[in-house]
Amino acid sequence: MPYRSVFRAGLFAGKTVIVTGGGSGLGRCTAHELKSLGARLALIGRTAEKLETVKAELGDPD
């Protein structure tokens, strides 16, 4: 069964959200959810390599 968010599509369209701990765990999952809802993200974390991996997963060019 494919994933379906409980939030309405586009809920965060036009918004910028800062995600701390965005390189792994809950922060990573939160980043994926927010991106799917239209948010522009600023990921913060301790390990640059993990942040780069999440950035690539999200397909974010910034």
Does residue 36 lie in a domain region? yes
Domain count for the chain, please give it: 1
> Is 5 contained in some domain?
no
Q: What confidence tier does 1 reach under pLDDT thresholds 50, 70, 90?
A: confident
| Residue 1 placed within a domain | no
Is the separation of the CB atoms in 35 and 41 below 8 Å? yes
Mean pLDDT of 5-22: 95
Write down how long the chain is. 62
- Which residues constitute the domain of residue 24? 16-58
**Amino acid sitting at position 1:** M
Is residue 6 in some structural domain?
Answer: no
pLDDT, mean over the chain = 93
Instruction: Report yes or no: 58 and 31 within 8 Å, Cβ to Cβ.
Output: yes
